[in-house]
A = this chain, B = another copy of it.
Amino acid sequence: MERELFRHRMKVRDYECDVQGVVNNANYQHYMEHARHEFLLSCGVSFSKLHAEGVDFMVSKATIEYKNPLRGDDFFDVVIDMKREGAKLVCLQNIHRCSDDKLCAKGRIEIVSVVNGMLSRGEKFDELFANFFNK
Protein backbone atom coordinates (compact mmCIF):
# COMPACT_ATOMS: atom_id res chain seq x y z
CA MET A 1 0.00 0.00 0.00
CA GLU A 2 1.47 3.29 -1.03
CA ARG A 3 -1.02 5.99 -0.18
CA GLU A 4 -3.04 6.68 2.94
CA LEU A 5 -6.40 8.14 1.96
CA PHE A 6 -8.10 7.59 5.27
CA ARG A 7 -7.29 6.32 8.75
CA HIS A 8 -9.78 5.24 11.36
CA ARG A 9 -8.85 4.38 14.95
CA MET A 10 -10.70 1.64 16.82
CA LYS A 11 -10.25 -0.48 19.92
CA VAL A 12 -10.71 -4.21 20.38
CA ARG A 13 -13.75 -5.12 22.46
CA ASP A 14 -13.41 -8.23 24.62
CA TYR A 15 -16.42 -9.97 23.06
CA GLU A 16 -14.58 -9.88 19.72
CA CYS A 17 -11.93 -12.23 21.10
CA ASP A 18 -12.34 -15.99 21.13
CA VAL A 19 -11.12 -18.92 23.19
CA GLN A 20 -7.58 -18.41 21.84
CA GLY A 21 -7.55 -14.97 23.52
CA VAL A 22 -7.19 -13.11 20.23
CA VAL A 23 -9.62 -11.31 17.94
CA ASN A 24 -11.60 -13.83 15.88
CA ASN A 25 -10.63 -13.71 12.19
CA ALA A 26 -14.07 -12.73 10.92
CA ASN A 27 -14.00 -9.57 13.03
CA TYR A 28 -11.18 -8.11 10.94
CA GLN A 29 -13.67 -8.03 8.08
CA HIS A 30 -16.06 -6.19 10.35
CA TYR A 31 -13.34 -3.68 11.25
CA MET A 32 -12.48 -3.14 7.59
CA GLU A 33 -16.14 -2.74 6.64
CA HIS A 34 -16.71 -0.21 9.40
CA ALA A 35 -13.62 1.79 8.36
CA ARG A 36 -14.85 1.86 4.73
CA HIS A 37 -18.23 3.14 5.88
CA GLU A 38 -16.53 5.84 7.97
CA PHE A 39 -14.54 6.77 4.89
CA LEU A 40 -17.81 6.98 2.92
CA LEU A 41 -19.25 9.25 5.61
CA SER A 42 -16.18 11.49 5.40
CA CYS A 43 -17.09 11.86 1.69
CA GLY A 44 -20.61 12.87 2.67
CA VAL A 45 -22.44 9.60 1.97
CA SER A 46 -23.82 6.94 4.26
CA PHE A 47 -24.03 3.25 3.44
CA SER A 48 -27.64 2.99 4.62
CA LYS A 49 -28.74 6.08 2.65
CA LEU A 50 -27.11 4.62 -0.46
CA HIS A 51 -29.08 1.42 0.16
CA ALA A 52 -32.31 3.42 0.54
CA GLU A 53 -31.57 5.07 -2.84
CA GLY A 54 -31.17 1.66 -4.49
CA VAL A 55 -27.36 1.66 -4.57
CA ASP A 56 -25.63 -1.27 -2.85
CA PHE A 57 -21.88 -1.55 -2.64
CA MET A 58 -21.22 -5.28 -2.32
CA VAL A 59 -17.98 -7.10 -1.61
CA SER A 60 -17.19 -9.47 -4.49
CA LYS A 61 -13.88 -10.71 -3.13
CA ALA A 62 -11.99 -10.31 0.13
CA THR A 63 -8.38 -11.32 0.72
CA ILE A 64 -7.01 -10.88 4.21
CA GLU A 65 -3.53 -11.78 5.41
CA TYR A 66 -3.28 -12.18 9.15
CA LYS A 67 0.14 -11.02 10.35
CA ASN A 68 -0.09 -10.42 14.10
CA PRO A 69 -3.09 -11.07 16.31
CA LEU A 70 -4.93 -8.25 18.05
CA ARG A 71 -5.91 -8.85 21.68
CA GLY A 72 -8.41 -7.40 24.15
CA ASP A 73 -8.04 -3.63 24.70
CA ASP A 74 -5.59 -3.15 21.80
CA PHE A 75 -6.01 0.11 19.92
CA PHE A 76 -5.55 -0.15 16.17
CA ASP A 77 -5.79 1.97 13.04
CA VAL A 78 -7.43 0.86 9.82
CA VAL A 79 -5.66 2.63 6.95
CA ILE A 80 -7.30 2.79 3.52
CA ASP A 81 -6.04 3.25 -0.02
CA MET A 82 -8.13 2.51 -3.10
CA LYS A 83 -8.12 2.25 -6.88
CA ARG A 84 -10.44 1.37 -9.76
CA GLU A 85 -10.10 -1.92 -11.69
CA GLY A 86 -12.69 -2.37 -14.42
CA ALA A 87 -16.13 -2.18 -12.81
CA LYS A 88 -14.63 -2.73 -9.37
CA LEU A 89 -13.42 -0.57 -6.56
CA VAL A 90 -10.40 -2.14 -4.88
CA CYS A 91 -9.80 -1.11 -1.26
CA LEU A 92 -6.40 -1.80 0.22
CA GLN A 93 -6.79 -1.82 3.96
CA ASN A 94 -4.06 -2.32 6.50
CA ILE A 95 -4.64 -2.74 10.21
CA HIS A 96 -1.85 -1.49 12.48
CA ARG A 97 -1.67 -1.96 16.23
CA CYS A 98 -1.11 1.44 17.83
CA SER A 99 1.17 0.38 20.67
CA ASP A 100 4.04 -0.66 18.36
CA ASP A 101 2.75 0.18 14.85
CA LYS A 102 2.96 -3.51 13.91
CA LEU A 103 1.01 -4.58 10.83
CA CYS A 104 -1.69 -6.95 12.08
CA ALA A 105 -3.73 -7.56 8.95
CA LYS A 106 -3.51 -6.66 5.30
CA GLY A 107 -6.74 -6.61 3.31
CA ARG A 108 -7.63 -6.35 -0.36
CA ILE A 109 -11.36 -5.89 -0.69
CA GLU A 110 -12.98 -5.80 -4.12
CA ILE A 111 -16.32 -4.06 -4.32
CA VAL A 112 -18.96 -3.84 -7.01
CA SER A 113 -21.82 -1.42 -7.21
CA VAL A 114 -25.31 -2.82 -7.66
CA VAL A 115 -27.90 -0.26 -8.75
CA ASN A 116 -31.57 -1.20 -8.47
CA GLY A 117 -30.55 -4.83 -8.37
CA MET A 118 -28.35 -4.65 -11.51
CA LEU A 119 -24.57 -4.85 -11.54
CA SER A 120 -23.27 -1.44 -12.67
CA ARG A 121 -20.02 -0.39 -14.33
CA GLY A 122 -19.07 1.48 -11.19
CA GLU A 123 -20.09 4.99 -12.24
CA LYS A 124 -21.06 5.68 -8.61
CA PHE A 125 -17.47 5.02 -7.48
CA ASP A 126 -16.18 7.64 -9.92
CA GLU A 127 -18.83 10.10 -8.82
CA LEU A 128 -17.97 9.70 -5.13
CA PHE A 129 -14.25 9.06 -5.13
CA ALA A 130 -12.88 10.60 -8.36
CA ASN A 131 -10.50 12.81 -6.40
CA PHE A 132 -8.78 9.79 -4.93
CA PHE A 133 -7.97 7.75 -8.02
CA ASN A 134 -4.44 7.80 -9.40
CA LYS A 135 -3.90 9.82 -12.52
Q: Which residues of A contact B (CB under 8 A)?
A: 13-15, 17-21, 24-27, 29-30, 33-34, 37, 41, 46-48, 51, 56, 58-66, 69, 71-73
Contact = CB atoms under 8 A, between A and B. Distances in A.
B25 A33 contact: yes
Nearest to A33: B15
14 contacts: A14-B18, A14-B19, A14-B34, A14-B48, A15-B26, A17-B48, A19-B19, A19-B47, A19-B72, A20-B58, A21-B48, A25-B29, A47-B72, A59-B66
A111 to B, nearest CB: 10
Question: Binding site of A, secondary structure by majority: helix, strand, loop or mixed?
Answer: mixed
Centre residue among A13, A47, A62, A63 by max chain B CB count within 10 A: A62
Contacts of A48: 14, 17, 19, 21, 71-73
